[in-house]
Amino acid sequence: MKHCYSWLCMALLLGVSSSASAQRYSTRTGSVSFFSVSIMEDIEAKTDQAAALLDMQTAQVAFAIPIRTFEFKRTLMQEHFNENYMESDRFPKATFKGRVTNLNVDLLHKGGPQRVSVEGDLTLHGITRRVQTTGSLEVASGRLLVHTLFSVAPADYGIDVPLLVREHIAKIVTVRVSMACDPVSPVTLAQP
């Protein structure tokens, strides 16, 4: 309860300094998928339970993806993904926190997609690395649409692939993020 107070205060502060349009957007049902193509096997997985919070005033973004919610074509792949590669018991979430480096808020509220650069820390399998990528932001019917496509090398995050199946798993995995975020006010955010 104590921090509701602080939030109220912050809301007032924001109310003074910002325009009427929403500054923060969030979702819990963002889509994240990844795929890797190799000679032996194509691997593809999806989840619709990615959470995101984007602050358009400070240009900060945060994503959290529960690893166990990824679904694969093959049940066995899913099991191996959680058990052997991602070790989902130990590292249940992948997270990203960073900022949009070239955000133009005025342009955003005029409508139409805006190409943006994002940089920040990606934490995967317990290992955090600085990453940079591009994506697009668009405000359409009051919602913030977020799209990005980037590559991840499992080896960079301490995910080792045994020799025997090395041919099956690509060195580079492409990740696609697609989200529609609803506007939030800081006051409602503070109440869990």
Partner 1 sequence: MRELYFRLPGTLGALLLLVGGLLATPAQAQDDILNELEQQTPPSTTSSVVDATFKSSRLINGHTIQTPGKGTMVFLISHRFGTLNSGPYNFFGLDQATIRLGLEYGFTDRLTVGVGRSSLEKTLDSFVKYKALRQSTGAHAMPVSVTLFASSALTTLRYNDQVEHTLARRMTYSYQGLIARKFSPALSLQLMPTLIHRNLVATDQDPHDVYAVGFGGRQKLTKRTSLNLEYYYLVPATKPSEVRNSLAVGFDIETGGHVFQLHVTNSQGMIEKFFVANTQGNFFKGDLYFGFNVNRNFTLRTQDKFSK
Q: List residues binding partner 1 (CB under 8 A).
A: 2-3, 5-6, 8-10, 13, 26, 28, 44, 46, 51-53, 55, 58, 60-64, 66, 68, 71-76, 79-80, 82-84, 87, 89-90, 92, 95, 97-99, 120-121, 162, 164-165, 168, 189, 192
The helix/strand/coil state of 105 is helix
CB 149 to partner 1: min, Å: 19
Residue pair 103/59 in contact (Cβ under 8 Å)? The answer is yes
Quick one: 98 or 135, whose CB is closer to partner 1? 98
- 171-192 residues labelled b (16+ CB within 10 A) or e (exposed): eebebebbbbbeebebeeebee
Quote the DSSP letter at residue 21.
S
Quick one: 83 or 110, whose CB is closer to partner 1? 83
Quick one: 120 or 154, whose CB is closer to partner 1? 120
CB 141 to partner 1: min, Å: 23
Quick one: 46 or 176, whose CB is closer to partner 1? 46
41 Cβ neighbours under 8 A, 6+ residues apart = 168, 169
CB 111 to partner 1: min, Å: 25
CB 5 to partner 1: min, Å: 4
Quick one: 147 or 168, whose CB is closer to partner 1? 168
Cα Rg of the chain, angstroms: 18
1 vs 37: CA distance, rounded Å? 49
Closest CA to 93 of 57, 62, 55: 62
